[in-house]
């Protein structure tokens, strides 16, 4: 995904509804995350930038400690940005530390094909989800620079019966609400101990009339 800075939380008059909170808490509990105290991992990595390969290693301890031996600027940037995103989303945290800190309420009756809206009052990005069948099916956020919508297309379950997102598409919109960029993601994972670690990510990007396909393939994972 394109990088963005999380906007500061804001004051809200939105009421918190117990049924919406319970529904989103269930969704949160159904999502795979690394176990508490997970120290991070290292792996060999091959980064492919539209056909040009770079090989090296990567070590990920947390979102602020990601290191790689790859020197090529574009390959290193792609790897670091995506590893940061994966560590952020897979890392251990509680519901109360994330979406649960906002005022949660339903925004419609749930007849949409992607499920019912849950809006997050107080979030500075005006975020709202669509949830269905115990899963987030769509994510919507707005920043001063752009807005984006993530549609979850396929998920898989890990050995703990928790969901991992396998395929999703991100639509970016400019300030005039026109489509700025589209990215299609495919993610695969490998089980190492009690953690599902990134094994493969491919991104097909369409921007400014061109298509670019980039990927990273990780192997020989070792827990730190």
The angle at the Cα of 39, spanning 38 to 42, to the nearest 5 degrees, equals 115
pTM of the predicted protein model: 0.91
Q: What is the mean pLDDT of the chain?
A: 92
DSSP-derived 3-state class of residue 24: helix
- DSSP category for residue 6: P
Predicted confidence at residue 58, as pLDDT, reads 98
Q: Average pLDDT, stretch 54-67?
A: 95
pLDDT digits (tens, 9 = 90+) for 85-107: 999 999 988 999 899 999 999 99
SS3 per residue for 189-203: EEEECCEEEEEEEEE
Predicted confidence at residue 203, as pLDDT, reads 98
Predicted confidence at residue 45, as pLDDT, reads 98
Predicted confidence at residue 144, as pLDDT, reads 84
Q: Label residue 74 by pLDDT band (50, 70, 90).
A: very high
Percent of the chain with pLDDT over 70: 97
DSSP-derived 3-state class of residue 33: coil
Predicted confidence at residue 54, as pLDDT, reads 97
- At which residue do the structure tokens 């019966």 appear? 161
pLDDT digits (tens, 9 = 90+) for 140-197: 999 888 899 999 999 999 999 999 999 999 999 987 778 889 999 999 999 999 999 9
Q: What are the φ/ψ torsions at residue 67 (nearest 5 degrees)?
A: -125, 150
């Amino acid at each position: 995904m394109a990088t963005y800075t999380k906007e500061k939380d804001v004051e809200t008059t939105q009421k918190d509804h117990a049924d919406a909170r319970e529904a989103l808490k269930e969704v949160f509990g159904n999502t795979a995350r690394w176990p508490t105290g997970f120290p991070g991992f290292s792996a060999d990595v091959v980064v492919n930038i539209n056909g040009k390969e770079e090989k090296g290693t990567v070590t990920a301890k947390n979102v602020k400690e990601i290191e790689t031996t790859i020197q090529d600027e574009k390959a290193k940037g792609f790897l670091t940005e995506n590893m940061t995103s994966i560590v952020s989303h897979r890392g251990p945290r509680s519901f109360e530390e994330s979406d649960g800190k906002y005022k949660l309420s339903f925004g419609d009756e749930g007849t949409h094909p992607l499920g019912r809206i849950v809006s997050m009052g107080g979030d500075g990005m005006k975020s709202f989800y669509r949830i269905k069948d115990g899963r987030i099916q769509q994510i919507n956020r707005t920043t001063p620079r752009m807005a984006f919508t993530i549609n979850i297309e396929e998920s898989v379950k890990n050995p703990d019966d928790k969901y991992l997102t396998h395929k999703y598409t991100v639509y970016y919109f400019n300030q005039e609400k026109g489509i700025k960029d589209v990215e299609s993601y495919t993610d695969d994972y490998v089980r190492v101990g009690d953690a599902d670690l990134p094994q493969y990510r491919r991104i097909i990007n369409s921007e400014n009339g061109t298509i670019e396909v980039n990927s990273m393939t990780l192997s020989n994972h070792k827990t730190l």
